[in-house]
């Protein structure tokens, strides 16, 4: 509810709404002659500032891979975890940090490992100086949370989803099934499309769901939370289109 008080999206929508009302009430003015051009801007501001609309798009993407219940299997599964984070520059060099999705993926992978055992493989996101990586930071969290160091592996050089999987394909193929793929539910459609393109047999394990099945009435009002949700949805939608154009995904 507090997002309604933040200025950016609400002010933008209110500005276009005022201009639209003014233009239609005074059609003979210069602004009035532009009234039909203001309407699309008003609709644009409303749609991209309304959490309920963004939530519907996100939910449709996340529902492609529903939550699964993992059971213990013989053979020691491999749990492939895609990193999510960033690097900060300090006096001694760059240090890796996790964003909210990175924390969610790390904890989901640890919970899965406690259920099925096997090995954790954290991949990707090296720092600009190649001194560390988000994958290494996630692995450190896993070991300090009780996962034996011998059960943790890292691939610290890949920069994006395609490289995350391409650089680990040989290891995945040598390990054999089952191999779990842990990543955010919104990211899974793109990640699985890449896996299929590479011929990798992975079992999806979604986490970090953003979609909400039940929304409050004020989710239909423009607020500053809407653009953030839309940005996340558009990032995955455009990312999948781009990957298909590049031949990285099926």
* pLDDT for position 7: 56
- Predicted model pTM: 0.86
Tens of pLDDT, residue by residue over 102-124, are: 999 999 999 999 999 999 999 99
* pLDDT for position 1: 47
Per-residue CA distances from 31 to 12, 35, 172 (Å): 17, 7, 62
CA distance 147 to 153: 11
Q: Is residue 213 over pLDDT 80?
A: no
Strands 152-155, 119-123: parallel, antiparallel or unpaired by DSSP? parallel
Tens of pLDDT, residue by residue over 46-104, are: 888 888 888 888 999 999 998 887 766 656 799 999 999 999 998 888 999 999 999 99
Domains of the chain with CATH codes: 2-63+212-246 (no CATH), 78-207 (3.40.50.620)
């Amino acid at each position: 509810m507090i997002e309604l008080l933040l200025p950016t999206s609400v002010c933008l929508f209110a500005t276009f709404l005022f201009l639209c009302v003014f233009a239609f009430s005074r059609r003979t003015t210069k602004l009035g002659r532009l009234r039909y051009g203001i309407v699309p801007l008003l609709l644009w501001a409303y749609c991209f500032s309304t959490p309920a609309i963004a939530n519907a798009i996100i939910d449709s993407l996340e529902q492609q891979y529903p939550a699964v219940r993992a059971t213990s299997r013989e053979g020691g599964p491999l749990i492939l975890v895609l990193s999510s984070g960033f690097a900060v520059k300090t006096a001694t060099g760059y240090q890796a940090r996790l964003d909210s999705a990175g924390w969610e993926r790390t904890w989901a992978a640890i919970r899965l490992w406690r259920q099925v055992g096997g090995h954790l493989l954290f991949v990707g996101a090296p720092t600009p100086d190649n001194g560390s990586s988000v994958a290494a930071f996630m692995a450190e969290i896993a070991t300090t949370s009780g996962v034996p160091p011998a059960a943790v592996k890292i691939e610290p050089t890949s920069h994006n989803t395609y490289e995350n999987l391409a650089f680990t394909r040989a290891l995945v193929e040598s390990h054999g099934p089952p191999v779990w793929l842990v990543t955010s539910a919104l990211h899974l459609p793109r990640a699985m499309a890449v896996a299929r393109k590479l011929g990798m047999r992975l079992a999806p394990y979604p986490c970090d769901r953003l979609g909400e099945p039940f929304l409050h009435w004020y989710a239909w009002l423009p607020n500053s939370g809407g653009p953030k949700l839309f940005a996340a949805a558009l990032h995955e939608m455009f990312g999948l289109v781009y990957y298909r154009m590049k031949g990285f995904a099926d």
